[in-house]
Structure 1
Amino acid sequence: MTTIPAPDLPALLRQHGLRCTASRLSTLRLLSSSGEHLSCPDVSGELERLGLPFDQTTVYRTLEALTAAGLAHAVHGPGPKRYGISSEPHHHTVCETCGHVGDLPIEQLREVMERITELAGLHTGTAASLLLYGRCVRCTV
């Protein structure tokens, strides 16, 4: 996942039509610096640990606003929805056991997506997102 330099975050929020509130700025900063896909409880817990105790409803609404504005994306899987940030288009792997979400660069699956188009007649375009479910390395041991 790609990180966004902290000084650019307020401008980025405004460019996407969002007011620069403390919860939005803190949540965007956390998602950008974490390098992980985090659930709402993960974000709430980490913000609280950092001394920014936003209630979980505020964090959820913030995550949904960031997603609606195109600054974050949500990945559904077992357990809670997880949110991430990346400036590069990518697909995801989702562990069916622990819920861990990983990124797969689109370039590495270009031939697979072309084959899906051939087999299914589905023209995916550049905004397509492929979710691959299975068990991660930690859960297969």
Structure 2
Amino acid sequence: MSGVAQSARDDTVVPTEPRALLRRHGLRCTPGRLQIVALFAASARHLSVAEAWEELSRSGPPVHPTTVYRTLETLTAVGLTYAVHGPGATRYCVPGEPHHHFVCQDCGEVEGLAHERLREAVGRIEELTGLRPDASGSLLVYGRCPECGG
């Protein structure tokens, strides 16, 4: 990990090293938090608490599932992660390039969709309905993934 990254929203430099991220948000650097932040910073996937716990169990010292849950709630509250709610388990991911989310109504799988791929459609939705993406710029789209018959 390089330690810093350019913010997708403006020209500020954002730390990417877990310890620096936690400190920047006023959080203590506990071993569990450091492991969880490192996992999410390295993962491009949207993980549930159970999936994060399984990944952590395979890769290092054990972290209790309750610690994973509470840590993700804390990280989401300060903006270090965000939660995608849908059918099934809530999925978490770190903010990166702005993107929308597709949630499978059957299996709950979450996939990120690049803003560019939906720019025209989102503009048309706003025009027709007056509805806009949330504060993060994310729109949540529900449907069925290819594996579930979409």
TM over 0.5: yes
Runs of 4+ in 1 over 6 A off after TM superposition: none
Structure showing the higher helix proportion among its residues: 1
Contact in 2 for aligned 1:44/1:54 (Cα 8 Å): yes
Change (3 A) 1:86 1:124: closer
TM-score (norm 1): 0.86
Matched, 1:35 2:44: yes
Residue ranges of structure 1 left out of the alignment (5+ in a row): none
Q: Greater relative contact order: 1 or 2 (C-alpha under 8 angstroms, separation 6 or more)?
A: 1
Of 101, 105, 123, which aligns to 1:114? 123
Residue ranges of structure 2 left out of the alignment (5+ in a row): 4-16
Which one-letter code corresponds to 1:110 in the other structure?
R
- Name the structure 1 match of 2:14: none
Q: How many residues align?
A: 137
In 2, Cα distance between equivalents of 1:56 and 1:106: 33
Alpha-carbon deviation of 1:51?
A: 3.1
TM-score (norm 2): 0.81
Alpha-carbon deviation of 1:86?
A: 3.0
- Name the structure 2 match of 1:84: 93
- Name the structure 2 match of 1:102: 111
Change (3 A) 1:46 1:123: closer
Identity rate, percent: 53
Which one-letter code corresponds to 1:132 in the other structure?
V
In 1, Cα distance between equivalents of 2:38 and 2:107: 25
In 2, Cα distance between equivalents of 1:122 and 1:22: 41
